[in-house]
Amino acid sequence: MISTARIVGAGLIGTSIGLCLKSAGIKVEMVDVDSNSAQLAQDLVKSTPLSEPDLIVVAVPISANQKVVVEQLNANPNSIVCDLASVKSDLLVKVEELSDNAKNFISLHPMAGRELSGAQSARADLFIGRAWVLITGSKSSEKAKLVADSFIKICGGSSYQMSSAEHDLTVAKLSHLPQILSSSLAASLLEVSEDNLNISGQGIRDLTRLANSDSKLWSEIFLANQSSLTPALEKLISHLQGLQKSLVSNKKEEIEDFLKKGREGKDKIPGKHGAKSRNYAFLPIVIDDKPGQLAIIFNECAKIAVNIEDLSIEHSPGQETGLITLALSESDCIKLSEHLEKLGFKVHPTKNR
Protein backbone atom coordinates (compact mmCIF):
# COMPACT_ATOMS: atom_id res chain seq x y z
CA MET A 1 0.00 0.00 0.00
CA ILE A 2 2.93 2.35 0.71
CA SER A 3 5.99 2.01 -1.52
CA THR A 4 7.07 5.67 -1.67
CA ALA A 5 6.93 8.47 0.90
CA ARG A 6 7.96 12.10 1.17
CA ILE A 7 8.78 13.54 4.59
CA VAL A 8 8.43 17.33 4.78
CA GLY A 9 10.46 18.43 7.80
CA ALA A 10 13.88 17.08 8.69
CA GLY A 11 13.81 17.43 12.46
CA LEU A 12 13.80 14.70 15.09
CA ILE A 13 10.32 13.37 14.27
CA GLY A 14 10.50 13.70 10.49
CA THR A 15 13.92 12.09 10.21
CA SER A 16 12.94 9.30 12.61
CA ILE A 17 9.91 8.61 10.38
CA GLY A 18 12.21 8.60 7.36
CA LEU A 19 14.60 6.11 8.96
CA CYS A 20 11.71 3.89 10.02
CA LEU A 21 10.09 3.81 6.57
CA LYS A 22 13.46 3.29 4.87
CA SER A 23 14.16 0.28 7.09
CA ALA A 24 10.80 -1.15 5.95
CA GLY A 25 11.95 -1.06 2.31
CA ILE A 26 10.05 2.10 1.35
CA LYS A 27 11.64 4.71 -0.93
CA VAL A 28 11.85 7.96 1.04
CA GLU A 29 12.38 11.58 0.05
CA MET A 30 13.42 14.02 2.80
CA VAL A 31 12.78 17.75 2.25
CA ASP A 32 13.18 20.81 4.48
CA VAL A 33 13.32 24.58 4.00
CA ASP A 34 16.62 24.57 5.91
CA SER A 35 19.26 23.25 3.50
CA ASN A 36 21.62 22.05 6.24
CA SER A 37 18.88 20.09 8.03
CA ALA A 38 17.69 18.68 4.71
CA GLN A 39 21.18 17.55 3.70
CA LEU A 40 21.84 15.78 7.00
CA ALA A 41 18.48 13.99 6.91
CA GLN A 42 18.94 13.06 3.25
CA ASP A 43 22.35 11.55 4.01
CA LEU A 44 21.03 9.63 7.02
CA VAL A 45 17.98 8.27 5.23
CA LYS A 46 19.60 7.93 1.78
CA SER A 47 16.87 10.11 0.33
CA THR A 48 15.46 9.56 -3.18
CA PRO A 49 13.74 12.37 -5.17
CA LEU A 50 10.11 11.39 -5.76
CA SER A 51 7.21 12.61 -7.87
CA GLU A 52 3.78 12.37 -6.22
CA PRO A 53 4.58 9.63 -3.65
CA ASP A 54 2.00 7.31 -2.09
CA LEU A 55 2.31 9.06 1.27
CA ILE A 56 3.37 12.57 2.29
CA VAL A 57 4.14 13.15 5.97
CA VAL A 58 4.22 16.76 7.16
CA ALA A 59 6.47 17.07 10.21
CA VAL A 60 7.02 20.82 10.50
CA PRO A 61 6.59 23.34 13.37
CA ILE A 62 2.98 24.12 14.31
CA SER A 63 3.25 27.66 12.94
CA ALA A 64 3.87 26.29 9.41
CA ASN A 65 1.79 23.12 9.64
CA GLN A 66 -1.50 24.20 8.07
CA LYS A 67 0.20 26.03 5.19
CA VAL A 68 2.43 23.08 4.29
CA VAL A 69 -0.42 20.56 4.53
CA VAL A 70 -2.55 22.58 2.09
CA GLU A 71 0.39 23.08 -0.28
CA GLN A 72 1.15 19.35 -0.39
CA LEU A 73 -2.51 18.40 -0.88
CA ASN A 74 -2.97 20.85 -3.74
CA ALA A 75 0.30 19.92 -5.47
CA ASN A 76 -0.14 16.14 -5.12
CA PRO A 77 -3.75 15.16 -5.89
CA ASN A 78 -3.07 11.41 -5.79
CA SER A 79 -1.00 11.32 -2.58
CA ILE A 80 -2.33 10.68 0.91
CA VAL A 81 -1.16 13.51 3.17
CA CYS A 82 -0.92 13.42 6.96
CA ASP A 83 0.47 15.84 9.52
CA LEU A 84 2.05 15.04 12.89
CA ALA A 85 1.37 18.28 14.76
CA SER A 86 0.91 18.00 18.51
CA VAL A 87 -1.99 20.49 18.56
CA LYS A 88 -4.93 20.12 16.16
CA SER A 89 -7.36 22.93 17.04
CA ASP A 90 -9.38 23.72 13.89
CA LEU A 91 -6.79 22.26 11.48
CA LEU A 92 -9.14 19.87 9.69
CA VAL A 93 -11.84 22.51 9.22
CA LYS A 94 -9.28 24.93 7.75
CA VAL A 95 -7.83 22.27 5.44
CA GLU A 96 -11.30 21.45 4.12
CA GLU A 97 -11.88 25.16 3.45
CA LEU A 98 -8.56 25.70 1.67
CA SER A 99 -8.14 22.50 -0.37
CA ASP A 100 -10.38 20.64 -2.80
CA ASN A 101 -8.31 17.54 -2.06
CA ALA A 102 -9.21 17.25 1.65
CA LYS A 103 -10.43 13.68 1.08
CA ASN A 104 -6.77 12.63 1.02
CA PHE A 105 -5.91 14.19 4.39
CA ILE A 106 -5.65 12.47 7.78
CA SER A 107 -4.30 14.14 10.91
CA LEU A 108 -2.00 12.07 13.14
CA HIS A 109 -0.07 12.60 16.35
CA PRO A 110 2.50 10.01 17.49
CA MET A 111 2.89 10.11 21.28
CA ALA A 112 6.64 9.79 21.05
CA GLY A 113 9.66 12.05 21.18
CA ARG A 114 12.92 12.77 22.91
CA GLU A 115 14.24 15.65 24.98
CA LEU A 116 16.80 16.08 22.16
CA SER A 117 16.07 17.71 18.81
CA GLY A 118 17.25 17.67 15.21
CA ALA A 119 17.96 15.00 12.61
CA GLN A 120 21.14 14.04 14.47
CA SER A 121 18.97 12.73 17.32
CA ALA A 122 16.65 10.68 15.08
CA ARG A 123 16.01 6.98 15.73
CA ALA A 124 14.30 4.43 13.50
CA ASP A 125 12.77 2.73 16.56
CA LEU A 126 11.35 5.91 18.12
CA PHE A 127 7.72 4.92 17.49
CA ILE A 128 7.76 1.22 18.37
CA GLY A 129 5.03 0.44 20.89
CA ARG A 130 3.79 4.04 20.89
CA ALA A 131 0.23 5.29 20.71
CA TRP A 132 -0.81 7.35 17.69
CA VAL A 133 -3.86 9.60 17.73
CA LEU A 134 -5.77 9.44 14.43
CA ILE A 135 -8.18 12.25 13.57
CA THR A 136 -10.37 12.14 10.49
CA GLY A 137 -12.16 15.01 8.83
CA SER A 138 -15.69 15.01 7.46
CA LYS A 139 -14.25 14.48 3.96
CA SER A 140 -11.52 11.93 4.77
CA SER A 141 -11.71 8.99 2.36
CA GLU A 142 -11.57 5.31 3.26
CA LYS A 143 -8.33 5.05 1.30
CA ALA A 144 -6.76 7.78 3.43
CA LYS A 145 -7.75 5.93 6.61
CA LEU A 146 -6.32 2.64 5.33
CA VAL A 147 -3.03 4.24 4.31
CA ALA A 148 -2.77 6.01 7.68
CA ASP A 149 -3.39 2.74 9.54
CA SER A 150 -0.77 1.00 7.41
CA PHE A 151 1.73 3.81 8.08
CA ILE A 152 1.19 3.57 11.84
CA LYS A 153 1.65 -0.21 11.80
CA ILE A 154 4.88 0.09 9.78
CA CYS A 155 6.18 2.43 12.50
CA GLY A 156 5.26 -0.15 15.16
CA GLY A 157 2.50 1.90 16.76
CA SER A 158 -1.17 1.53 17.71
CA SER A 159 -3.88 3.96 16.56
CA TYR A 160 -6.54 5.61 18.74
CA GLN A 161 -9.25 7.68 17.07
CA MET A 162 -10.28 11.01 18.64
CA SER A 163 -11.81 14.32 17.67
CA SER A 164 -9.57 17.38 17.42
CA ALA A 165 -11.05 18.89 20.60
CA GLU A 166 -10.68 15.67 22.60
CA HIS A 167 -7.09 15.32 21.38
CA ASP A 168 -6.09 18.83 22.45
CA LEU A 169 -7.67 18.46 25.90
CA THR A 170 -6.01 15.08 26.41
CA VAL A 171 -2.49 16.07 25.34
CA ALA A 172 -2.72 19.20 27.50
CA LYS A 173 -2.90 16.89 30.53
CA LEU A 174 -0.75 13.96 29.36
CA SER A 175 2.00 15.79 27.49
CA HIS A 176 2.00 19.54 27.99
CA LEU A 177 1.54 19.69 31.79
CA PRO A 178 4.41 17.21 32.35
CA GLN A 179 6.68 19.48 30.30
CA ILE A 180 5.62 22.50 32.36
CA LEU A 181 6.20 20.68 35.66
CA SER A 182 9.60 19.38 34.55
CA SER A 183 10.77 22.80 33.38
CA SER A 184 9.43 24.52 36.50
CA LEU A 185 11.09 22.06 38.86
CA ALA A 186 14.38 22.27 36.95
CA ALA A 187 14.25 26.09 37.03
CA SER A 188 13.93 25.95 40.84
CA LEU A 189 17.32 24.19 40.94
CA LEU A 190 18.97 27.45 39.86
CA GLU A 191 18.57 28.48 43.51
CA VAL A 192 20.44 25.38 44.76
CA SER A 193 24.23 25.53 45.04
CA GLU A 194 26.35 23.24 42.88
CA ASP A 195 27.80 21.63 46.01
CA ASN A 196 24.34 20.77 47.31
CA LEU A 197 23.26 19.40 43.93
CA ASN A 198 25.83 16.64 44.44
CA ILE A 199 23.31 14.77 46.58
CA SER A 200 20.75 14.66 43.76
CA GLY A 201 18.99 11.31 43.55
CA GLN A 202 17.29 9.52 40.69
CA GLY A 203 13.94 11.13 41.48
CA ILE A 204 15.05 14.65 40.59
CA ARG A 205 16.80 13.35 37.47
CA ASP A 206 13.66 11.53 36.32
CA LEU A 207 11.40 14.51 36.93
CA THR A 208 13.66 17.04 35.19
CA ARG A 209 14.51 14.95 32.12
CA LEU A 210 11.95 16.79 29.97
CA ALA A 211 13.47 20.15 30.92
CA ASN A 212 16.10 19.55 28.22
CA SER A 213 13.40 19.90 25.54
CA ASP A 214 13.52 22.53 22.79
CA SER A 215 12.21 25.79 24.30
CA LYS A 216 11.26 27.32 20.93
CA LEU A 217 9.26 24.24 19.93
CA TRP A 218 7.46 23.96 23.26
CA SER A 219 6.59 27.65 23.51
CA GLU A 220 4.83 27.27 20.13
CA ILE A 221 2.98 24.19 21.38
CA PHE A 222 1.83 25.90 24.59
CA LEU A 223 0.52 28.94 22.72
CA ALA A 224 -1.17 26.84 20.05
CA ASN A 225 -3.01 24.86 22.73
CA GLN A 226 -3.69 27.68 25.18
CA SER A 227 -7.48 27.17 25.13
CA SER A 228 -7.07 23.61 26.46
CA LEU A 229 -3.86 24.07 28.41
CA THR A 230 -4.88 27.12 30.45
CA PRO A 231 -7.79 25.46 32.35
CA ALA A 232 -5.70 22.31 32.87
CA LEU A 233 -2.88 24.42 34.31
CA GLU A 234 -5.31 26.34 36.53
CA LYS A 235 -6.61 23.07 37.97
CA LEU A 236 -3.08 21.84 38.65
CA ILE A 237 -2.17 25.11 40.36
CA SER A 238 -5.34 24.78 42.47
CA HIS A 239 -4.23 21.29 43.61
CA LEU A 240 -0.81 22.63 44.60
CA GLN A 241 -2.33 25.60 46.42
CA GLY A 242 -4.56 23.18 48.32
CA LEU A 243 -1.48 21.24 49.41
CA GLN A 244 0.22 24.47 50.45
CA LYS A 245 -2.75 25.38 52.68
CA SER A 246 -2.74 21.89 54.20
CA LEU A 247 0.96 22.23 55.02
CA VAL A 248 0.52 25.66 56.61
CA SER A 249 -2.41 24.46 58.74
CA ASN A 250 -0.79 21.10 59.67
CA LYS A 251 -3.62 19.04 58.10
CA LYS A 252 -1.93 15.63 57.94
CA GLU A 253 -5.04 13.84 56.63
CA GLU A 254 -5.40 16.32 53.77
CA ILE A 255 -1.74 15.85 52.85
CA GLU A 256 -2.19 12.07 52.86
CA ASP A 257 -5.29 12.45 50.69
CA PHE A 258 -3.30 14.55 48.20
CA LEU A 259 -0.66 11.83 47.94
CA LYS A 260 -3.21 8.99 47.78
CA LYS A 261 -5.03 10.64 44.89
CA GLY A 262 -1.71 10.94 43.10
CA ARG A 263 -1.10 7.25 43.51
CA GLU A 264 -4.63 6.45 42.30
CA GLY A 265 -4.07 8.54 39.19
CA LYS A 266 -0.71 6.91 38.53
CA ASP A 267 -2.29 3.45 38.82
CA LYS A 268 -4.68 4.35 35.98
CA ILE A 269 -1.80 4.63 33.50
CA PRO A 270 -1.83 1.49 31.30
CA GLY A 271 1.02 -0.97 31.50
CA LYS A 272 2.96 -2.56 28.67
CA HIS A 273 1.11 -3.01 25.35
CA GLY A 274 -1.88 -1.10 26.74
CA ALA A 275 -2.60 -3.75 29.38
CA LYS A 276 -3.69 -2.94 32.91
CA SER A 277 -0.88 -1.46 34.97
CA ARG A 278 0.91 -4.14 36.99
CA ASN A 279 2.50 -4.03 40.41
CA TYR A 280 6.11 -5.09 40.10
CA ALA A 281 8.63 -6.28 42.62
CA PHE A 282 11.81 -4.20 42.64
CA LEU A 283 15.31 -5.57 43.00
CA PRO A 284 18.02 -3.02 43.87
CA ILE A 285 21.51 -4.34 43.06
CA VAL A 286 24.74 -2.65 44.14
CA ILE A 287 27.31 -2.75 41.34
CA ASP A 288 30.91 -1.60 41.02
CA ASP A 289 31.49 1.43 38.81
CA LYS A 290 33.50 -0.42 36.17
CA PRO A 291 32.90 -1.74 32.64
CA GLY A 292 30.87 -4.91 32.12
CA GLN A 293 28.77 -4.92 35.31
CA LEU A 294 25.43 -4.32 33.59
CA ALA A 295 26.26 -6.83 30.86
CA ILE A 296 26.90 -9.50 33.49
CA ILE A 297 23.53 -8.89 35.14
CA PHE A 298 21.66 -8.92 31.82
CA ASN A 299 23.40 -12.13 30.77
CA GLU A 300 22.49 -13.80 34.05
CA CYS A 301 18.85 -12.75 33.57
CA ALA A 302 18.90 -14.40 30.15
CA LYS A 303 20.48 -17.57 31.53
CA ILE A 304 17.64 -18.16 33.99
CA ALA A 305 14.88 -16.78 31.71
CA VAL A 306 14.04 -13.72 33.84
CA ASN A 307 12.24 -10.85 32.08
CA ILE A 308 13.20 -7.29 33.05
CA GLU A 309 10.16 -5.01 32.81
CA ASP A 310 11.97 -1.75 33.60
CA LEU A 311 15.15 -0.47 35.22
CA SER A 312 16.76 2.61 36.70
CA ILE A 313 20.40 3.41 37.43
CA GLU A 314 21.62 5.70 40.19
CA HIS A 315 25.20 6.67 40.93
CA SER A 316 26.35 7.33 44.48
CA PRO A 317 28.10 10.74 44.70
CA GLY A 318 31.83 10.34 45.29
CA GLN A 319 31.56 6.55 45.47
CA GLU A 320 32.89 3.83 43.18
CA THR A 321 29.57 2.03 43.25
CA GLY A 322 26.18 2.45 41.63
CA LEU A 323 22.69 1.13 42.20
CA ILE A 324 20.67 -0.54 39.47
CA THR A 325 17.03 -1.26 40.31
CA LEU A 326 15.18 -3.83 38.20
CA ALA A 327 11.38 -4.04 37.96
CA LEU A 328 10.28 -7.68 37.71
CA SER A 329 7.38 -9.98 38.35
CA GLU A 330 7.39 -11.24 41.94
CA SER A 331 8.42 -14.76 40.94
CA ASP A 332 11.23 -13.50 38.69
CA CYS A 333 12.42 -11.18 41.46
CA ILE A 334 12.78 -14.08 43.89
CA LYS A 335 14.50 -16.24 41.29
CA LEU A 336 16.97 -13.55 40.22
CA SER A 337 17.69 -12.41 43.76
CA GLU A 338 18.67 -15.92 44.84
CA HIS A 339 20.70 -16.45 41.66
CA LEU A 340 22.69 -13.21 41.95
CA GLU A 341 23.34 -13.70 45.66
CA LYS A 342 25.03 -17.00 44.82
CA LEU A 343 27.27 -15.12 42.39
CA GLY A 344 28.29 -12.63 45.07
CA PHE A 345 26.13 -9.65 44.09
CA LYS A 346 24.68 -7.46 46.83
CA VAL A 347 20.91 -7.51 46.28
CA HIS A 348 18.14 -5.89 48.33
CA PRO A 349 14.63 -7.06 47.28
CA THR A 350 11.77 -4.67 48.05
CA LYS A 351 8.01 -5.09 48.26
CA ASN A 352 5.72 -4.49 45.30
CA ARG A 353 4.82 -0.87 44.70
- pLDDT, tens only, 78-120: 999 999 999 998 899 999 999 999 999 999 999 998 777 788 9
Name the average pLDDT for the chain: 92
- Which CATH number belongs to the domain containing residue 329 in this structure? 3.30.70.260
252 and 310 together in one domain: no
pLDDT confidence tier of residue 72, bands split at 50, 70 and 90: very high
Share of the chain above pLDDT 70, in %: 95
9 and 158 together in one domain: yes
For residue 278, the model assigns a pLDDT of: 64
148 and 193 together in one domain: no
Indicate whether 275 belongs to any domain.
Answer: no
Q: Where are the beta strands (DSSP E) in the chain?
A: 4-8, 27-31, 55-58, 80-83, 105-110, 131-135, 158-161, 281-288, 310-315, 321-328, 346-347
Is pLDDT of 310 > 80?
yes
Indicate whether 184 belongs to any domain.
Answer: yes
- Which CATH number belongs to the domain containing residue 227 in this structure? 1.10.3660.10
Can you give the residue range of the structural domain that contains 227? 168-267
Indicate whether 98 belongs to any domain.
Answer: yes
Indicate whether 258 belongs to any domain.
Answer: yes
For residue 117, the model assigns a pLDDT of: 79
> Phi and psi at residue 8, in whole multiples of 5°?
-100, 105
pLDDT confidence tier of residue 272, bands split at 50, 70 and 90: low
Mean pLDDT, residues 269-296 taken together: 78
203 and 291 together in one domain: no
158 and 176 together in one domain: no
For residue 50, the model assigns a pLDDT of: 95
**How far apart are alpha carbons 283 and 279 in whole angstroms?**
13
**How far apart are alpha carbons 336 and 339 in whole angstroms?**
5
150 and 214 together in one domain: no
